[in-house]
Structure 1
Amino acid sequence: MSLSGKVQGQDITNVVGPVTVRRATVDDAALIAQVRIDSWRAAYRGMIPDSYLDGMKVDDSTHMWTRVLSAGSDAACTFVAEVEGELVGFAAGITLAERKLDFDAELTALYVLPSAQRAGIGRRLLSEVAATLAAAGAPNMLVWVLAKNSKARDFYAHLDAQLLAQQTFKWDELDLIEVAYGWRDIQSIGRITTVS
């Protein structure tokens, strides 16, 4: 795969076409909701009951993302990736009011549609969130991943995130197991994810 271009708000070119990453706005809420649901259905089949995945509603998710985006700041940021004007992925992160596992920031979401994966988009989104949270004062960042999600685990491990912990949690009455990965130096994420 041949990638070219620059980071920090510039376009890159890859096999899916020119990719633009920008800060999300409230107007993106419905598209983010759709990407989230489509990504969950593709990624979590076999990990989360089909009835739950099939019952996810865009309207419910849109309301949640409208609230999130309305409260956006450098301490809580969301970025979207577009290919030819179509939203194909997003990432969100926050600085933490209370540290978790001795970390000050958290990547709370990173989803790219299956048709746009393996083209550097996830890395680019991760880098933008990390840079924004670093500018807000966070020296490090963690992310929680379903323990059975080997694809996501491999993605973060490949980007030098360290496995930190495992825990059981409840999500809408579902008992799930998640693992935490983290970067002790948030600045290292930009160096690892830079496309050349």
Structure 2
Amino acid sequence: MTGIFIRTANIDDAQMIADFHVKVWRHTYQELAPAEAYAVLNEQHRGKMWKQKLSANDSSQVVLIAEIDGRTVGIGAAGRPSESIFGGRGEIKFLYVDPDFKRRGIGRELLAELATHLREMHYQGAALSVVKGNDPAIAFYDALNGRLAGEYIDPGPIWQSQNIVFVWDDVASLIG
């Protein structure tokens, strides 16, 4: 798809990213997340998280925004692995696409840019986790030849979700 512009986020984008994150997260997890998580993980909570993430002086991390005609249609983040199950691969930490813009190549382009960052950070492979039951995302990662590498319980803070881990042993396979 043409017309997708991907840029690196900065601290001034924090609340916009948080608002987008909440919108897409609630759409994605409305049938999967418990009511408490649905209520607590709001724009204010996510705003604090994204401000902290974007103000951290961490060169291993990147946060990207995908836009079409100035409208945010996707976000993604990658960096050092947060869980041992990722096996030392770089982690795709967030990948969200506006439901109104799915199946237009936005997720693939964001993932390719995130993988490029991980390669620049000298990670040979990439990994991510997806909540069990998020069938569209599971199908997406499967179509990109992600290999199932196990499961773990995300520790929260609000929702201890059952997650499936996908890995790519060659990060370059996500780029080209």
TM-score (norm: length of structure 1): 0.83
Q: How does 1:33-182 map to 2 (within 5 A)?
A: 33-71=18-56, 73-96=58-81, 100-182=85-167
Distance 1:21 1:102, change over 3 A: same
Deviations 1:141-190 (A, max 9, x none): 10000011111111101011101101233323433211100100001111
Partner Cα separation in structure 2 for residue 154 and residue 108 of structure 1:
18
Partner Cα separation in structure 2 for residue 46 and residue 72 of structure 1:
36
Is residue 72–residue 78 contact of structure 1 (8 Å, CA) maintained in 2?
no
TM-score (norm: length of structure 2): 0.92
Is residue 163–residue 180 contact of structure 1 (8 Å, CA) maintained in 2?
yes
Distance 1:101 1:60, change over 3 A: closer
Deviations 1:42-75 (A, max 9, x none): 1111110244324432122111111111225541
Structure having the higher strand fraction is: 1
Aligned residues: 176
Unmatched runs of 5 consecutive residues or more in structure 1: 4-12, 192-196
Q: Which residue of 1 aligns with 2:15?
A: 30
Is residue 80–residue 91 contact of structure 2 (8 Å, CA) maintained in 1?
yes
SS of equivalent to 2:52: helix
Percent of aligned pairs with the same amino acid? 28
1:99 offset after TM fit, Å? Answer: 5.2
1:30 offset after TM fit, Å? Answer: 0.9
Is residue 93–residue 106 contact of structure 1 (8 Å, CA) maintained in 2?
yes
What one-letter code is carried by the residue in structure 2 that aligns with 1:91?
G
Unmatched runs of 5 consecutive residues or more in structure 2: none
Partner Cα separation in structure 1 for residue 81 and residue 11 of structure 2:
22
- Larger Cα Rg: Structure 1 or Structure 2? 1
Is residue 41–residue 54 contact of structure 1 (8 Å, CA) maintained in 2?
no
SS of equivalent to 1:103: coil
What one-letter code is carried by the residue in structure 2 that aligns with 1:116?
F
What one-letter code is carried by the residue in structure 2 that aligns with 1:66?
K
Partner Cα separation in structure 2 for residue 55 and residue 168 of structure 1:
19
1:83 offset after TM fit, Å? Answer: 1.2
Partner Cα separation in structure 1 for residue 137 and residue 163 of structure 2:
11
Is residue 110–residue 126 contact of structure 1 (8 Å, CA) maintained in 2?
yes
RMSD: 1.8
Deviations 1:66-121 (A, max 9, x none): 11112255411111001111112100011238854423210000001101111100
Deviations 1:26-49 (A, max 9, x none): 111111101110111111111102
